[in-house]
């Protein structure tokens, strides 16, 4: 059965509010008060992240969770066409993604990644495992910092023998091969 909308009811009981009226007395009273800060909308709290207690170690499961929005793989720099032309004429042409990487920013990022790796261990008592060591080694491999990579692996294997395993080395050989450094991978293993 069809019933007309409430606006068309002429014989409305007096206790019901008028549907044509937008705001009641209560809402107009609430609008006169200053707005209270909403903790869910406070941008400073959202950007600062959760409070971390340095005395309790971080759980490994929290660290192993992949990021929701992964960062871009490597810093990119502006192409210099004049330099590329000179390199092409002299025969020292670099192609692929490595041609557009900024080496200064790349090295800074790798140093900061290692600094963070050691900082989280010292500051919060986080115990690195094979997975975290392998991920840092892959980052160093993709950044083409071989001396730093081998020093890092030696340091980790001296700390605990289960940090650098056969699967870690297999993964690194595969990554070095993907980077075009298969001879480097086989000479060190």
pLDDT in tens, the chain (189 residues): 555 555 555 555 555 555 555 555 555 555 555 556 555 555 555 555 555 566 666 566 655 665 566 555 655 566 677 887 787 778 766 666 666 667 778 788 888 889 998 899 888 888 888 898 899 888 888 887 888 888 998 988 888 878 888 888 888 888 887 777 767 767 766
Tokens matching residue 21:
């009226």
Phi, psi values for residue 78, rounded to 5° = -70, 140
Facing residues of 175 across strands? none
13: left (phi over 0), alpha (psi -120 to 50) or beta: beta
pLDDT of the residue at 2: 57
| pTM of the predicted protein model | 0.48
* CA distances to 20, 109, 132, 161, 179 from 139, in Å: 65, 10, 11, 21, 12
What is the pLDDT at residue 85? Answer: 79
What pLDDT is attached to residue 36?
60
């Amino acid at each position: 059965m069809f019933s007309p909308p409430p606006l068309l009811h002429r014989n409305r009981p007096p206790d019901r509010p008028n549907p044509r009226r937008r705001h009641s007395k209560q809402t107009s009273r609430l609008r006169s008060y200053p707005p209270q800060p909403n903790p869910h909308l406070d941008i400073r709290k959202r950007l600062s992240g959760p409070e971390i207690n340095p005395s309790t170690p971080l759980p490994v499961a929290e660290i192993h969770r992949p990021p929701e929005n992964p960062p871009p793989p490597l810093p990119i720099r502006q192409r210099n066409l004049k330099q590329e032309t000179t390199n092409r004429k002299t025969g020292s042409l670099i192609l692929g993604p490595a041609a557009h990487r900024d080496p200064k920013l790349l090295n800074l990022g790798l140093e900061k990644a290692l600094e963070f790796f050691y900082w989280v261990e010292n500051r919060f008592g986080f115990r690195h495992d094979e997975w975290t060591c392998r991920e840092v080694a892959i980052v160093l491999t993709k950044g083409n910092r071989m001396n730093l990579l081998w020093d890092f692996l030696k340091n980790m294997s001296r700390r605990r023998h289960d940090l650098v395993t056969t699967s870690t080395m297999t993964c690194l050989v595969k990554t070095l091969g993907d980077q075009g450094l298969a001879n480097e991978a086989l000479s060190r293993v």
